[in-house]
Amino acid sequence: MIYLKTDEEIELMRESNLMVARTLGEVAKHIKPGITTLELDEIAETYIRDNKGVPGFLNYHGFPNTLCTSVNEQVVHGIPNKKPLIEGDVVSVDCGSLLNGYFGDSAYTFCVGEVKPEVKALLVATRESLYKGIENAVAGKRLGDIGFAVQNHVESKGYSVVREMVGHGIGKNLHEAPEVPNYGRRGNGIKLKSGMVIAIEPMINMGKRQILQEKDGWTIRTVDKKVSAHFEHTIAIRKDKADILSSFKFVEEVLSLQSEK
């Protein structure tokens, strides 16, 4: 069952997604060699609660933390821990919040200090593929058009698309119908309708697409242990152009200030 949202509901969802965006901006200030992902998690939880939200991932199906923090070859669902990040790492920070009865969900992959150029190139291509998918998230197109746009962009650069993990509908529940794959064929899949709200989240690997689950029951990593990248926006389907409810603005403001230092 796909729930179409009213304009009022979409505005409430924009608020919860902007809370996630600001939380990611807060986390961005602290990402540097030596910080632990558990410390980042505490920063995120404090920020969400101080702003009258509820962490969306905490205790979701038993997940123990506010953030999913996935380092290097970890794709998604990494559990924050006490191991310090080191120069050259990349870390995907996926955050959800519940505000006004609606969920927000967004992810950004950060560089820790100086990162190898080929790893940086993967991050750039993954982020670009997210926006290629969003360009196709308009009423009248089909779900396969989004997946095709993501897949076509990254595979043309020699990367691979994770198949088993997908984006999703979102609203009063964190995960709703439909599933939103990052691969597909143009013109295939359900027709997109105005009022649908979905999270598009390319998970792109530098090496092979195959993944496995770690013993903790959560963390997903690449089988070949090559780096993976992950970016996510929550968007509302509209007639002419997708309405991006989340934002990377706060992250990018922090990163641009850091690069000026």
**Residues 6 or more apart whose Cβ sits within 8 Å of residue 214:** 220, 221
The predicted-structure confidence for 44-80, as pLDDT tens digits, reads as follows 999 999 999 999 999 999 999 999 999 999 999 999 9
The predicted-structure confidence for 161-171, as pLDDT tens digits, reads as follows 999 999 999 99
131 Cα distance to chain centroid: 12
How far apart CA 105 and CA 16 sit, in angstroms, is 8
Its pTM surpasses 0.85: yes
- Structural domain boundaries of the chain? 7-260
- The answer to whether the beta carbons of residues 123 and 90 sit under 8 Å apart is yes
Nearest to 212 by CA among 165, 150, 144, 261: 165
Domain 7-260 has CATH 3.90.230.10: yes
